[in-house]
Structure 1
């Protein structure tokens, strides 16, 4: 396999050998630097590096089948850019942030105190270039801090510390009021974000997840992203994940209330290190191939391929896309099977639009059986994302009362990963071994939940004795854990550092 912008076996796009769509245009930074790693491309001063790795180096002649393409995007920090390309660092983009905090009755006591601590931390990290607003909600919505430049931090933190708990959960009202405040200062050349935190179900105002998701999609189209933080075991994880996905933000599951400050720390760290906005990836297949899908994503269809619009990228962040491609019977020789183009607005180059394109070539030929073996790095990512998607399916079955089906789904993925470790490369893979142990623990939890439900049915203490009764507290926590794990894997998110390092 070779992946390049016109140069065989090296990868990257030479300044004198770019595809037509990478030609320099007025106001557009484009092209990619030649690199020794197959399928790598990044402009001389660009902030995102793109790499493609195909699952196979060689396919059998005349046989149709499937190959995978692992597309890796890496946000380059100023130090990394200086080391690779030369030049100095850059100033960060200003931040226009609105916090929307649940102060319903269930947040009283320690949970609300941790939220106040986290909100004060956010204020401390901002500068006079930034805008800050704060909305709280229970059954009513209160604008505690209108959008303003962060100049009087002590006053802002005093207002935060005076937040008191209330009654019900008007999530939609709080979210929309927070959006209105961020919208007042919404403009290009900065990071515009609403951060929603709740511990309960939306039970006042708009409660339909479909309507809320549609509203957040409309918000995102105006350049304002939305992150969602769910605390405890009573919030609607499907809703919050949907809001974060539609809003091109992040989702966080806070199982223990003392993790709230570290979640806010992680969110703010990312927002203060944005290197690329309006990230767009287009995959186009060639030589009679067909793009079957992008694991874990729902891309927009395009001629001979698909388009993905991705959230802002941060310094040192890695996003990995797994493309499934069906190929026809290939004649002997090398064939151009895939082209991936990347476009984004570069925060480190005065918001210049950057365009990079990489072409991947795949050979069909004759060789020993081991020559057709897929690359472990690609197969590993495929199996981990498939495991993430299986967790979502296990959640569905569990909610339907089909605990045995839920368990079987997890066991199937456990077997698939155990088989992967029997490969020469996978035998010592710590990440795969950790996921195997995690799956074993999840299977044990299904058994425990089943026993718990049997006990409750026998005693007649559960709200419903049917198999599809409302989840018990332990089952609710289990379902949130599964959905959170799936999200974290699919979106390459890492767990918050609870030690504050």
Structure 2
């Protein structure tokens, strides 16, 4: 069976023997390529749907259609359950094999809006449905869809995210989908990040079916979950920063999203390296994950070694443009988070300055299609700021930051 590969790309392909070095490294994790005759593990899936009053009209209609689409894609060996919530929680479909799809779809089509948003209780009920049939060799996930803030029951984002993290440690991931401009993006991004799942910002309900399709395709192509990356500097080498802003587990390993066939992940780390007299291992990188088809946890590791030269010759090793680009994107993601913090304090002028300065930095870098897209994204955010479309700005900035800092998974753009 194919296993992931770890590719290490340093900013410069050498280190100094006589002076300390700042060493930036792009860590690319390459899952196996898609297989034509892929036999995916069974799914254990719960759809948790917000049916509060704000979901009236097109939203609830498209939610029903998207959920029905999801059920139609399941195999008879997959499990599915459906939980709906407003001020109260109702388990519409208890976890069952996807055999009588017509009945499940009929239940979904009857969903109607109510009042209130018991988000945490709804998620908990969905988690219980998945846990009842938890199997380490299956892919276990809760998909939460909401267009509002948690207004009933537990509201503390830290408490909710901690519960989601605890569930993820038992092998059940959480994906969150926010619809429109009035949901709590901080809560939903935190739940997805801590829950080892995906996060989607859905500006218009028409996009719901294709986003459900993308989520299911990625889930079905998952070859590893509970993924972590250990970074172990050797000797006097130190970690200065991990630009992705990843969560760490109890062992200090960085938590990564699921391994999805054909979807490489990237992490950028900054190392401080003292003068090194001779070539040696500078840092070990260990990837750990669980394969749904195997009982034992999986792991691979590699080490970073570079030629040693004197500082007068370092200019002979030009910086790698790809690493420079990824570093810039990570730094811009941090600028977006800082701009949002200024927005929350009412300092629109400083938020605009940060976005404009970041865009100028991107435009002055060696150009590429990815940087061209980022420059346009920054321009769009500043245009929203000038038009005082603050809610939309916060959600778009949160999505872009989430996508880049969480190892650059596939981004769903406005063309979808």
Shorter-chain TM-score: which interval? over 0.9
| Local SS of the residue matching 2:198 | strand
Matched, 1:381 2:381: no
Distance in 1 between the 2:382 and 2:110 partners? 44
- What residue ranges of structure 2 are gaps of 5+ in the alignment? none
Matched, 1:392 2:337: yes
Question: Offset of 1:89 from its aligned partner?
Answer: 4.3
2:18 to 62, 65, 82: 62
Calculate the TM-score normalised by the size of structure 1: 0.79
| Local SS of the residue matching 2:117 | coil
Question: Offset of 1:237 from its aligned partner?
Answer: 0.2
Residue of structure 2 in register with 1:480 after alignment? 395
Does the 8 Å CA contact 1:47/1:77 hold for their aligned counterparts?
no
Alignment of 1:50-449 (within 5 A): 50-79=6-35, 89-298=37-246, 300=248, 306-331=252-277, 333-347=278-292, 350-366=294-310, 368=313, 370-421=315-366, 427=367, 429-449=368-388
Distance in 2 between the 1:94 and 1:302 partners? 29
The CA RMSD measured in Å over matched residues stands at 2.0
- What residue ranges of structure 1 are gaps of 5+ in the alignment? 1-44, 80-87, 422-426, 450-473
Distance in 1 between the 2:219 and 2:382 partners? 36
Distance in 2 between the 1:325 and 1:286 partners? 11
Question: Offset of 1:270 from its aligned partner?
Answer: 1.0
Distance in 2 between the 1:180 and 1:375 partners? 48
Distance in 1 between the 2:410 and 2:309 partners? 40
Question: Offset of 1:249 from its aligned partner?
Answer: 0.6
Give the total of aligned pairs: 414
Does the 8 Å CA contact 2:169/2:226 hold for their aligned counterparts?
no
Distance in 2 between the 1:133 and 1:78 partners? 28
Does the 8 Å CA contact 1:259/1:498 hold for their aligned counterparts?
no
Does the 8 Å CA contact 2:246/2:405 hold for their aligned counterparts?
no
Distance in 1 between the 2:297 and 2:400 partners? 34
Does the 8 Å CA contact 2:244/2:404 hold for their aligned counterparts?
no
Distance in 1 between the 2:378 and 2:245 partners? 23
Distance in 2 between the 1:264 and 1:405 partners? 37
Distance in 1 between the 2:396 and 2:320 partners? 31
Residue of structure 2 in register with 1:24 after alignment? none
1:129-161 Cα shifts (integer Å, max 9, x gaps)? 111000001111111000111110000001110
Residue of structure 2 in register with 1:36 after alignment? none
CA 1:419/1:64 → structure 2, altered by over 3 Å: closer, same or farther?
farther
Question: Offset of 1:301 from its aligned partner?
Answer: 8.6
| Local SS of the residue matching 2:152 | coil
Does the 8 Å CA contact 2:50/2:119 hold for their aligned counterparts?
yes
| Local SS of the residue matching 1:203 | coil
1:377-413 Cα shifts (integer Å, max 9, x gaps)? 1111111011112111111111111111111222232
Question: Offset of 1:351 from its aligned partner?
Answer: 4.6
Does the 8 Å CA contact 1:262/1:497 hold for their aligned counterparts?
no
Distance in 2 between the 1:57 and 1:77 partners? 28
Distance in 2 between the 1:190 and 1:344 partners? 14
Distance in 1 between the 2:314 and 2:3 partners? 40
Larger Rg: 1
| Local SS of the residue matching 2:307 | strand
Question: Offset of 1:299 from its aligned partner?
Answer: 5.0
1:273-306 Cα shifts (integer Å, max 9, x gaps)? 1111232221111241101221123454999xx5
Does the 8 Å CA contact 2:384/2:392 hold for their aligned counterparts?
no
Distance in 2 between the 1:380 and 1:441 partners? 20
Does the 8 Å CA contact 1:65/1:326 hold for their aligned counterparts?
yes
| Local SS of the residue matching 1:288 | coil
Q: Which piece of structure 1 moves more, 388-397 or 408-417?
A: 408-417
CA 1:65/1:205 → structure 2, altered by over 3 Å: closer, same or farther?
same
